Amino acid sequence: MPKQRPSEDAQRSCPQPVEVRRVAVAGLWVDALTERQVVARVMEALEAGRGGHIVTPNVDICRAAARDTGAREVVASADVVVADGMPLVWASKLLGTPLPERVTGADLLWSLSEAAAAHGMPVYLLGGPEGVAARAAEVLRERVPGVRVAGVAAPPYGFERSAGGVAEVREALTAAGPRVVFVGLGFPKQDRLIAELRPHMPGVWFMGCGAAITFAAGVVRRAPEWMRRAGLEWLFRLLSEPGRLARRYLVDDLPFAARLMVTCLLRRGFTR
């Protein structure tokens, strides 16, 4: 079951904005924000009519950004960048510039939806296999009192390679009029699409959320809370989908994470 937030948190007034500290980790600049602070920042901007873009890098995204300048620029252009991966939090602590906590797209989908409901702002779900976004919308309506889901869409494979496909998505979003859009198409596709949509919807906040829509729909199970806290969510997903995820986690991401930890340890040692 997705992690729930007490409804009073969503109803509470947003705190005054504070200067955001940015931390260099795994080749990216990451905001030292808690989940609650991210939600407060988004709601404050929405109330002022300003939109934005949230990226939640994990080890896989960091690895992609390390080898692809375009992917790295997509992350750098985002308004909020928070660590959706415990190795990044651990690395920041080893470097002496600790991030306050892990902030996942899967959790932000719920907390941002609660806050949007409290402020009367509609949300939109874009991505996932056919029918999954619609199911996630049903679950949101059941579990988040007052949430308004302006629409859902599951664009066909390869839509982003044609101007007509992107235009169709843009027109549907414009007609629906959401204020928060969750885009679950995988990195970097989802964030490149967001970069194309933002100039047409300057008052909307977009978040590239990966598998968050499928998690919300209950199609894919999330790891238990204790595994998330221990940084073992990747292991749970690997055991759940070994055929699809074995190469990504074991061949690509695990060595990258190990090198990251060793590099941070050595850097901290030389600094001392």
pLDDT tens profile 190-238: 999 999 999 999 999 999 999 999 999 999 999 999 999 999 999 999 9
Of 38, 41, 39, the residue nearest 50 (C-alpha): 41
Tell me the chain's radius of gyration from C-alpha atoms: 18
* pLDDT tops 60 at residue 44: yes
Mean pLDDT to the nearest integer, 111-135:
97
Q: Is the pLDDT of residue 57 over 80?
A: yes
* Nearest alpha-carbon partner for 214 in 100, 129, 111, 108: 129
Q: What is the mean pLDDT of the chain?
A: 92
Specify the pTM: 0.89
Query: Positive or negative, the Cα torsion across 222, 228, 234, 238?
Result: negative
Residue 12 has pLDDT above 80, yes or no: no
Q: Are 19 and 31 in contact (CB under 8 A)?
A: no
Quote the DSSP letter at residue 206: E
- Examine the pLDDT at 183 and tell me if it is beyond 80: yes
Find where tokens 């629409």 sit.
151
Question: Residues 269, 261: contact at Cβ < 8 Å?
Answer: no
The answer to whether residue 24 scores a pLDDT higher than 80 is yes
Structure confidence at residue 269 (pLDDT): 67
Judge residue 78's burial from the number of C-beta atoms within 10 Å of its C-beta, 0-12 exposed, 13-18 middle, 19 or more buried.
buried
pLDDT of residue 5: 47
Where does the pLDDT of residue 20 fall: very low under 50, low under 70, confident under 90, or very high at 90 and above?
confident
pLDDT at 268: 72
Please report which residue ranges of 48-160 form alpha helices under DSSP H. 59-67, 69-76, 86-94, 105-118, 132-143
pLDDT digits (tens, 9 = 90+) for 75-108: 999 999 999 999 999 999 999 999 999 999 999 9
What residues does 124 pair with on adjacent strands? 151, 181
Please check the confidence at residue 61 and state whether its pLDDT lies above 60: yes
pLDDT at 163: 82
Angle of helix 59-67 versus helix 69-76 axis, rounded to 10: 120
Mean pLDDT of 239-248: 94
Q: What number of CA atoms fall less than 13 Å from residue 227's CA on the CB side?
A: 12
DSSP state of 209: -
Q: Which residues contact 255 (CB under 8 A, 6 or more apart)?
A: none
